[in-house]
């Protein structure tokens, strides 16, 4: 017999017991009236009142006790079933945990088999880091090739934030080549989707949108309409925007000095929260340098300098991170780092 069949059999037996008990109780109660109504028409024996009371009490007891006992038995069965289910769940969790532990042990055993010296350990760690960097670079590169969605962009931005490639200040790109206005991409604090802002060079927010489930074409048509109202000479170039976003995040993966990145100025310079940075060769001008004005002259004397890339980075940095009074007057007082 199957488990469900056994369960139905038990239920039938329980109901049969209840029905029989009710019938017995009714017969007992009815028997208390039979003597007066049928048996003892002329003279009632002395022992009959005692027996009558006994029949009434037995009938009442059966009617009261049997349902209560039935309810108690059902509760006990449900408690036993719940306990059995809990035990099964615990056993499954224990089995799953043991399986996970075995898998981890196999992984570590495989790692231990490869690591027999410090050189091996260094190689394994470097390989893992390189593999992660390659996976992140592939994720960011895809932004410049596939049709973007809010989910794909949010995933890339979230990963960049996890790796500290970006910060609370959103990464941004020009709306088109040589345009002054910028599009920034951020992750909202309390909702899904992507927060898109139209910004001036100095970071002033001109308009903002929440890009969630709508197709990219609908969202960026809104951006194009606002740009037309701003009198921008060139409309938004969506291909350029996402290609540059891809290049910006990929650059932050490959160059630790470009983190947390705000904007990229190919082919040489990048803007971070703390400095403008030449990627190759590595050269940094921090925003809080006391001799920041003099550094502009010094950098322009470098033979390796890409002037167009540097001039754009220097200009945008001056707008986003203005000179402090001490930097402007040349007094070289210590300034607080800008963020």
* Measured distance CA(164)–CA(176) in Å, rounded: 27
- pLDDT band, very low/low/confident/very high, at 80 (cuts 50, 70, 90): confident
First to last CA, the chain: 74
State how far the alpha carbon of 243 is from the alpha carbons of 143, 175, 176, 221, 257, in Å: 7, 11, 11, 18, 21
**Is the predicted pLDDT of residue 229 greater than 50, yes or no?**
yes
Please state which of the ranges 109-123, 177-191, 219-233 shows the lowest mean pLDDT: 109-123
pLDDT digits (tens, 9 = 90+) for 31-70: 555 555 555 555 556 555 666 666 666 666 666 666 677 7
* CB burial of residue 17 (10 Å; 0-12, 13-18, 19+): middle
- In this structure, the dihedral spanned by the alpha carbons of residues 248, 249, 255 and 257, taken in order and rounded to 10 degrees, is 80
Is the distance from CB of 143 to CB of 156 less than 8 angstroms? yes
Q: Is the pLDDT of residue 136 over 60?
A: yes
The H-assigned helical ranges of 115-191 are 118-142, 150-162
User: What are 91's two structure tokens?
Assistant: 């056993």
Beta strands in 230-272 (DSSP E): 261-265, 269-272
pLDDT at 197 over 80: yes
Q: Which residues pair with 285 in a beta bridge?
A: 276
pLDDT band at residue 108 using 50, 70 and 90 as cut-offs: low
Residue 36 per-residue DSSP state: I
Q: What is the pLDDT of residue 338?
A: 36
Number of Cβ within 10 Å of residue 43's Cβ equals: 7
Mean pLDDT value of segment 204-227: 90
Could you tell me the pLDDT band of residue 334, with boundaries at 50, 70 and 90?
very low
The residue behind tokens 């009714």 is 26
Supply the pLDDT for residue 332.
42
Other C-beta atoms within 10 Å of 44: how many?
13
pTM: 0.61
Would you state the pLDDT for residue 233? Answer: 66
Phi and psi, residue 10, nearest 5°: -60, -45
pLDDT category, 96, cuts 50, 70, 90? Answer: low
Q: How confident is the model at residue 134 (pLDDT cuts 50, 70, 90)?
A: confident
Q: How confident is the model over 305-328, as a mean pLDDT?
A: 95
Taking only the tens place, the pLDDT of each residue in 85-95 is: 766 766 676 67
Res. 187 pLDDT band, cuts 50 70 90: very high
């Amino acid at each position: 017999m199957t488990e469900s069949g056994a369960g139905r059999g038990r239920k039938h037996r329980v109901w049969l017991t209840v029905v029989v008990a009710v019938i017995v109780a009714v017969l007992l109660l009815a028997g208390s009236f039979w003597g007066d109504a049928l048996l003892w028409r002329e003279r009632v024996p002395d022992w009959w009142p005692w027996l009558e009371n006994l029949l009434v009490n037995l009938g009442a007891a059966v009617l009261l006790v049997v349902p209560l006992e039935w309810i108690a038995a059902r509760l006990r069965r449900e408690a036993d079933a719940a306990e059995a289910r809990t035990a099964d769940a615990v056993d499954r969790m224990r089995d799953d945990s043991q399986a996970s532990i075995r898998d981890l042990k196999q992984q570590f055993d495989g790692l231990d088999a490869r690591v027999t010296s410090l050189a091996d350990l260094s190689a394994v760690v470097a390989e893992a880091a390189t593999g992660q960097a390659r996976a992140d670079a592939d994720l960011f590169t895809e932004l410049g090739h596939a049709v973007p969605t809010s989910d794909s962009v949010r995933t890339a931005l979230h990963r960049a934030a996890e790796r500290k490639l970006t910060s609370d200040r959103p990464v941004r790109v020009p709306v088109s080549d040589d345009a002054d206005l910028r599009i920034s991409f951020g992750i909202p604090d309390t909702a899904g989707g992507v927060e898109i802002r139209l910004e001036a060079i100095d970071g002033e927010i001109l308009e903002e949108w929440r890009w969630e489930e709508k197709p990219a074409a609908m969202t960026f048509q809104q951006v194009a309409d606002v740009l037309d109202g701003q009198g921008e000479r060139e409309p938004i170039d969506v291909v350029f925007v996402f290609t540059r976003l891809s290049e910006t995040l990929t650059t932050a993966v490959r160059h630790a000095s470009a983190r947390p990145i705000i904007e990229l100025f190919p082919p040489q310079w990048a803007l971070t929260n703390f400095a403008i940075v030449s990627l190759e060769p590595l050269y940094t001008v921090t925003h809080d340098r006391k001799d920041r004005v003099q550094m502009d002259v010094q950098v322009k004397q470098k033979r390796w300098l890409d002037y167009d890339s540097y001039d754009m980075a220097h200009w945008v940095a001056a707008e986003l991170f203005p000179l402090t009074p001490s930097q402007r007057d040349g007094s070289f007082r210590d300034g607080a780092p800008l963020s």
